[in-house]
């Protein structure tokens, strides 16, 4: 079982729920076009880190997602740590995308696919 903690929200992600966890590192290069020669590149900032989390949540885990969305709306940094001890540090929730499917008679979704995009936050 894989655990991730973002802020006060502990996510239990089993192999049946966690679809993807990806990490992206982008360096700040600005392309400068030049006449009659190849372009030049200039470093304009350090780098930025992004973490993408994709999971499928079944009905009983959906209230945690709703609470997490409300916390994300506050637009404050959250502390993230992975269950095996790796400290990610402060992150900002950039976006949350939720797709609901497999509905029951009362209109509630049995399964919700969620994609959460997080950016590392460095306090200057």
Domain segments of the chain: what residues?
2-26+48-120
Distance CA 59, CA 95 (A): 22
pTM > 0.85: yes or no: no
How far, CA to CA in Å, does 82 sit from each of 8, 10, 44? 13, 10, 31
Question: Which of 6-20, 36-50, 55-69, 81-95 has the least mean pLDDT?
Answer: 6-20
Q: C-alpha dihedral over 102, 106, 107, 108, to 10 degrees? A: -60
pLDDT reported for residue 77: 93
Other CB atoms within 10 A of residue 92 CB: 14
Q: Which DSSP state fits 107?
A: S
Convert the pLDDT of each residue in 22-78 to its tens digit.
999 999 899 999 999 999 999 988 889 999 988 887 766 667 788 889 999 999 999
């Amino acid at each position: 079982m894989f655990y991730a903690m973002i802020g006060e929200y502990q996510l239990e992600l089993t192999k049946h729920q966690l679809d993807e966890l990806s990490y992206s590192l982008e360096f700040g290069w600005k392309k400068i076009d030049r006449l009659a020669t190849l372009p030049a590149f200039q470093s304009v900032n350090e780098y930025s880190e992004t973490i993408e989390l994709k999971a499928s949540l079944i009905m009983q885990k959906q209230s945690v997602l709703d609470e997490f969305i409300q916390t994300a709306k506050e637009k404050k940094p959250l502390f993230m740590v992975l269950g095996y001890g790796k400290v990610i540090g402060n992150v900002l929730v950039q976006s949350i995308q939720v797709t609901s499917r497999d509905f029951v008679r009362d209109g509630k979704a049995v399964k919700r696919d969620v994609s959460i995009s997080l950016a590392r936050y460095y306090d200057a």
